[in-house]
Structure 1
Amino acid sequence: MRRLLIGLATGAVFVAATACGSSDSGGSGSGSGSGSDEPSSGGTTTVKVGVIPIIDVAPMYLGQKKGFYSERGIKLSLTSAQGGAAIVPGVVSGQFDFGFSNTTSLLVAQSKNVPVKAVVNGVASTGKEGADFAELAVKKGSPLKSAKDVEGKKVAANTLNNICDTSVKNSVRKDGGDPSKVQFVEMPFDQMPAAIDNGQVDAACVVEPALATIKAKGGTSIASLFVDVSPDLTVAMYFTSQQYAQKNPEMVKKFQEATAESLAYADSHPDEVREIITTYTKIPGTLLETLTLPRWPAEADRTSLEKLAELGEQDGLFDKAPDLDKLLP
């Protein structure tokens, strides 16, 4: 198992383990071990969650601010990491109680018998070509005009062997190119705009708010990666370890309920989503209105996950086919 976890984390470096909650959100709660094992003062329990500083997790920060978690006796301690491939080992080792991960990384983990269990939906594609919260983006004046053009080029992905490179390969393949010739460069989302500008990479699989930064400088999208996979693509989910779920079923239930309420609230309050992301990302206020918001549906779309599993097999990500029944709630 140790070798499996090391393999999942390869190339996915943790950002400094700093809680990312805003000053009034209680997001900097601390604790040792699995925080949910021992209630803190006031009948609340500190729950440690590994997240990524991107628009996808806005509902969690909103739910924290609106009291959806505290109403259920949960004090969130949110820690930022580079991507799901880094968060998975953190959850399995007990560093985090819950984590946020792209679904491909969860499928890879499940296929390797890493004991992960999705507990609640995370985020979904808008389903709109050219208007999604994640795009294959290039800088202003780039000669690259479509997904096929990144064949033989350098493309930024936040972590390797995750939903970014799988969806890029899918778009390149659909556009008639050879996906095996794409050169992926691993880097955090917030470093991608500068990397495109200075020529470190030719294109980037980038999500909001970094996508808005690229567009503000005249950059454009040459492919809607997630839409190409499935219009209703379940991009990411919140998950825990099987051990934690078995030991803390009541906390898992409370976390599910609070997160589901947060997803629904975010979906119906876009202005508050735009405001909350300024508390945990570096997005300039001038770009807030240009952000493309994702969808936050209550349930995962199984058909889209089956498609991701199919693409993962095609790309050689799995030793054996992942078992969706074991992974999903």
Structure 2
Amino acid sequence: MKKWFKAGFALFMVAVLIIPLAACGQDKVQTVKVAEVTRSIFYAPQYVALEKGFFEEEGLKVELTTTWGGDKTMTAVLSNAADIGLVGSETSIYVYAQGSNDPVINFAQLTQTDGTFLVSREKINDFSWDQLKGATYLGQRTGGMPQMVGEFVLKKHGIDPKEDLEMIQNIDYANIPNAFASGTGDFVQLFEPQASMFELEGIGHIVASFGTESGHVPYTTFMAKQSYMKKNPETIEKFTRAIHKAQKWVESHSAKETAEVIQPFFKDTDLSLIETVVDRYKSQGSYATDPILDEEEWKNLQDIMDEAGELPEEVSHDTLVNTEVAEDIMK
């Protein structure tokens, strides 16, 4: 009886000690609401961080929402519907120029090039940019990074977007691929996987990469309101560390391995197509290998915006970019 009592008491004490510890551990898990501008293979490292449990390792529970638009993403952040936004850095400049007393700060870069490709209706073996002169070109939304980068690249190759070709911009973003597939336009600027899908289906042919042509820019970054970052410095640090783990994982693993990990986020896309897209983005250096948004990239962004006539005012790097968090977690 005494032995039974001692054994039972010991088990009771173990339970008494373990349950509070487990509850304590649960209390340390913090929920972070993230709004992504769109669902895209372009953001592969983010999905790797989610699927590989890198956020959980940092004690974070990430609730991801797709907002389908830069303006909607920024609205979610500004209204506190989201803690962190994944969107183009140009949006933080637009908000700042409107006189915000709580600016949105870029703290971790995810992609470092444009993610669009030039697709031709006809197969062109020896493509040159001057072949666009006189052609009909399906562009992107005015003021958005894809269109600004597109115009920047065209001008770089001596093409005036307003004079040398017929630029069509009155089609909603979601309907641009359908418009091209139905016969509108000689060339179109498309994201993946649509560009590769058109190649597979014989609808179009990828002839150039805007990401390669435009150089490094902070195309999509994680950002949060300055007030949120000041109130939650440890959360921002943990979040950035998880993203950096994912960046290193993608860099050190094959496109096939990455595709297999992120496939749950693209259930309607064939695995081989995901692999093709990951390989294309990885080979041209679109995935940032670290979260630091440096001054040269920031300058390139504003040069592109200025060239497009969309830069409301020049903003210094240290005003809207925080690299200290990224630098600290990389030490």
TM over 0.5, shorter chain: yes
Offset at residue 312 of structure 1 (A): 1.1
For 1:55 and 1:95, the matched residues in 2 are separated by 24
Q: Is the 8 A contact 1:160 1:186 kept in 2?
A: no
The match for 2:111 is 123
- Normalization by structure 1: what TM-score? 0.75
Q: Is the 8 A contact 1:170 1:228 kept in 2?
A: no
Mark the structure with the bigger radius of gyration. Answer: 2
The match for 1:77 is 63
Where does structure 2 lack aligned partners over 5 or more consecutive residues? Answer: 1-23, 323-331
2:310 to 314, 317, 322: 317
1:165 to 147, 151, 160: 147
Equivalent AA in structure 1 for residue 182 of structure 2: N
Q: Is the 8 A contact 1:82 1:188 kept in 2?
A: no
Mapping for residues 131-280 of structure 1, pairs under 5 Å: 133-140=115-122, 147=129, 149=132, 153-157=136-140, 159-180=141-162, 182-185=167-170, 187-188=172-173, 192-218=176-202, 219-230=204-215, 232-269=216-253, 270-280=255-265
For 2:171 and 2:25, the matched residues in 1 are separated by 38
Q: Match of 1:234, SS?
A: coil
Equivalent AA in structure 2 for residue 45 of structure 1: Q
Identity of aligned residues (%): 22
The match for 1:307 is 300
Q: Match of 1:176, SS?
A: coil
Q: Match of 2:179, SS?
A: helix
Q: CA RMSD in A?
A: 2.8
For 2:134 and 2:296, the matched residues in 1 are separated by 28
Deviations 1:239-284 (A, max 9, x none): 1111211222221111111112122212222333212342223322
Deviations 1:164-195 (A, max 9, x none): 01111112212222123533245446x54433
Task: Give the aligned length.
Answer: 281
Q: Is the 8 A contact 2:89 2:218 kept in 1?
A: yes
Cα gap change, 1:312/1:196 in structure 2, threshold over 3 Å: closer, same or farther?
Answer: same
Equivalent AA in structure 2 for residue 62 of structure 1: V
Cα gap change, 1:75/1:201 in structure 2, threshold over 3 Å: closer, same or farther?
Answer: farther
Q: Match of 1:77, SS?
A: strand
- Normalization by structure 2: what TM-score? 0.75
Q: Match of 1:69, SS?
A: helix
Equivalent AA in structure 2 for residue 69 of structure 1: F
For 2:186 and 2:33, the matched residues in 1 are separated by 36
Equivalent AA in structure 2 for residue 118 of structure 1: N
